[in-house]
Structure 1
Amino acid sequence: MSTRERLRILIADDHYLVREGTRRLLDDTGRITVLGTVGTAEELLTAVDYEHPDAVIADIRMPPGHHLEGITAAHTIRTKYPGIGVVVLSQHASEHYAFALFQHGTDGLAYLLKERVGDLDELVRALHEVAAGGSVIDPRIVEVLMHSHTRTVTSPLAQLTPREVDVLRLMAQGRNNRTIADTLALAESTIEKHVNSTFAKLGLTELAGLHHRVTAVLAYLRHDAPPVDSRGSAP
């Protein structure tokens, strides 16, 4: 793969060893060119203006406040440069962070746990997905989102069969019907039936675009989630 074909990215994390270690790992894949690393959200925005990368990796909590600086920077970047994707990393699988990140839509955004840095294929896939305008959500975060809503008896999620829950979980991870079928070892036509049944029970309209399906699922899960304050926590 030539340098021109590599995805061009920036990395923002206030821990020097983390950002430089991530740089080394991604550079060694031969699929990513790291244009630079920074330690604050302000430095990230300046670097984006100068470098115009294809995508960005940003920690959620960065100086000066260690609150939601990464998420705020992600929204700023997506507004100013819609062609630049942002992968936000967190140490915690928090539904509040997820809803804060995706409150204006999911296009070009990903929320992954920091442990995914060790899974280079998954991290590179997420970077390419957001650079193309798609979205990715870490499977463990999806688990948290699903659990917090399925435990509510009055939630329509409680009406789903175990298999429909499996399908919804994989949809929220940004997987298409064929990939879901392969994962669950079922026919693609069977998955299509589960998808239609799931959307019907949740009162959602099936949408063709993959990231639009993720948006629909998150919109539903967000409906009765607690609001997020400026410190990134529920009141």
Structure 2
Amino acid sequence: MSKHPDHSHSHDHGPLPDDLELRVESIESLLVDKNLVDPAALDALVDTYQNHIGPRNGAAVVARAWSEPAFLARLLDDATAAISEMGFSGGQGEDMIVVENTDGIHNIIVCTLCSCYPWPVLGLPPAWYKAAPYRARIVREPRAVLAEFGLTVPETKEVRVWDSSAEIRYMVLPQRPAGTEGWTAEQLAPLVTRDSMIGTGIISPPAQAERGDLNGAPL
């Protein structure tokens, strides 16, 4: 099952060039050489989105939803308002929808036409999220793509693909792992991964989790 809201982007929808990273580095070097950009400021900006504004914010939202039924209800009813309660808002997060994974449904997010992404809660989008193969294939063959991420979804579980637009950003609320009964939100948040909030991963029970990072493994 796929959800494809109408897109009305004003920016280019073409495939990302294979040498995108090289181009970015070249432009950055040029700007630095001309004293138009402070490299320290750039590093600080990237660090902010990757480690502070990034998936740690989303992890806090997920952990609170697991811990507080009232907040969960508000989050599923009006994600933008509920997320704003926690101080997470701004560009790329003005209109949020949170979709909940259950025993019968697994959700995935994508932007098929470009790379719309909920920056305030997930930080900078990973390179594969912006790449044309992911954007095209996740809609046509979601189970096959998920398998390439190491995630096998049982045939008994429905897979739903949610297509972001210029107006709407999605975030997945992953299922709470077993063995965390009675845990506080502060204890739960480090278990949450970025990929689980995109839908390309799930959260392992704490006995299986190892310390890592929010990109694919818990802290």
Q: TM bucket by the smaller chain?
A: under 0.3
Structure whose residues are more often helix by fraction: 1
TM-score, normalization: structure 2? 0.24
Bigger relative contact order (CA 8 A; separation at least 6)? 2
